[in-house]
Amino acid sequence: MCTCRIFLFGLATVLLCAPKTLAQQPLTLTGAIEKALANNLIIKIAQNQAIMAENSATRGNAGGLPGVSAGAAYNGSLTNTELIFAGNQPSINRTGAQSGTLSGNVTVSYALFNGFVAANTFDKLQLQEELAITQTQLQVESVVLQVINAYYLALQIQGNMQAATASLEISRQRLNRASTRAAFGSANQLAVLNAQVDLTNDSIDLMLLQQQLVNAKINLNYLMGNEEVEYNLDATVELNAVFDKAELLDRAMLQNAALTQARKNLEVSEKDMDIAKGSWYPGLSVSTGYNFSSNQSDASFIIENRSNGLSYGVSLSYNLFNGGRSSILRQNSEINWNSNLLRLEDAENALRTQIDNAYTSYQGNVAMHQVRIKSLDINQLNFERSEEMFKNGQISGTEFREAQMNLTNARVLAYLSQIQVKLSEYELLRLSGSLLSLE
């Protein structure tokens, strides 16, 4: 019995002191988000996609600039040649006669008109750049919200640990009191055993919470792109003023990233229709260039023939029939535009629904938090009175334990309800497109 009691006292002492060792590197939510923005690999991938879209949004990539090409070639031969002429002209007989042709050219070509395809393609590339930026914003919002959820999960566990630590101290004091009473004969050994059982259960609960906190911090570290370190979390949770639903909805219709993405997709599909309509028009292009050639032959009257000079041309083309591919392209682009219009309408309806649900959850969480705070005050008062009655021997250890557990649960639920209100606030901010604009 003595050995068991010493073990329980030692375990309780270690657990009570353990949380204090975590306070080495305080980490605020803002600090966690900043680390994620700087280190998270998913965000970096999204940023790379946006850079690629920016690099692609040029007139040259859209086919709106002249093309310049250069070429050179040399062809040679080594042959046995015999030339026999009519009349009295002596024949020419060459063994191993060498001949060669050297040519080179520089050409500049430009499409003066191609049914506005180049201009519309450039506009499309610019829209795709804006779309990539919006998609990056969506990805950043997703990661930031994951960081917020992971941070508050760890903070909730940390708060549970504080409540469990307080409960563990109460159980330790109860065991001391029961042991002292038993030593003087004013209490039986059963009260001591019950106190030891409760102390052991509280110790195990705290150990489990410590393990959960470590796992929660590992998940948070992954999102932050951070090495696993010991740090404490800022337990301050400040609730903002009540949100106005109509204002949130107006802001969401203007700023929500998912809705902005749907609008950009519709604009891109409009440009696809304009590009497809380019096949209705003829194409007009011009070209000019400089050409050089040199022909050499050992078995000829002419040893070398050289030519060089400018060349130029104008080309007009019109597609009369290509198997109906142009018509199919136009039809499909119109269908795609209509689909994106429906997606935009659906996104607007979905956003309104999400705002309604999120705002209802926010109001419910606020009301629940107020009830939990009142419940905590009542349980605190009930525990203080029960503790006094227990010291005076007016209630049993079981009844005191019930008051203790009620207080612990009330503390946990009050802190949990506060965190749920805060998470509801962040969800409303995300839906309204204001999450990334927080200071």
Tens of pLDDT along 54-84?
999 999 999 999 999 999 999 987 777 776 7
Are the C-beta atoms of residues 425 and 434 closer than 8 Å to each other? no
Encode burial over 30-55: b for 16+ CB neighbours within 10 A, e otherwise.
Answer: eebbebbbeebeebeebeeebeebbe
Tokens of 404: 């203790």
Q: Are 435 and 256 in contact (CB under 8 A)?
A: no
- Cα separation, 218 vs 189, in Å, equals 44
Two structure tokens written together for 49: 């996609």
* 264 in Cβ contact with 130 (< 8 Å): yes
Contact between 383 and 174 (Cβ < 8 Å):
no
pLDDT confidence of residue 181: 84
Instruction: Give the number of other CB atoms < 10 A from CB of residue 428.
Output: 23
8 A C-beta contact, residue 210 and residue 161: yes
The two tokens of residue 158 are: 């940390």
Quick one: how many helices (H) and strands (E) in the chain? 9, 4
Other Cβ atoms within 10 Å of 337 Cβ, number: 19
Q: Which helix (H) or strand (E) holds 132?
A: helix 117-183
Element (H, E) at 292: strand 283-297
Residue 359 corresponds to which tokens in the numbers above?
């705002």
Domains of the chain are: 2-66+115-281+322-437 (1.20.1600.10)
Any idea which residue has 């903002």 for tokens?
Answer: 240
257 with 431: CB under 8 angstroms? no
Are 279 and 125 within 8 A, CB to CB?
no
**Which segments in the chain show pLDDT lower than 70?**
1-25, 83, 85, 228-229, 298-302, 438-439
Single-letter amino acid code for the residue at 379: N
From start to end of 37-135, where are the E strands?
67-83, 92-113
Phi and psi at 291, nearest 5°, equal: -120, 145
Residue 280 and residue 91 in contact, taking contact as beta carbons nearer than 8 Å: no
Distance CA 147, CA 409 (A): 26
How far is it, in rounded angstroms, from Cα 182 to Cα 115? 100
Locate 240 and state its tokens. 């903002």
Each residue's pLDDT tens digit, 94-153:
777 788 889 999 999 999 999 999 999 999 999 999 999 999 999 999 999 999 999 999
Sheet of 304-317, strands arranged across: 67-83, 92-113, 283-297, 304-317
Would you say the C-alpha torsion 352, 354, 355, 356 has a positive or negative sign? Answer: positive
The pTM for the full model equals 0.84
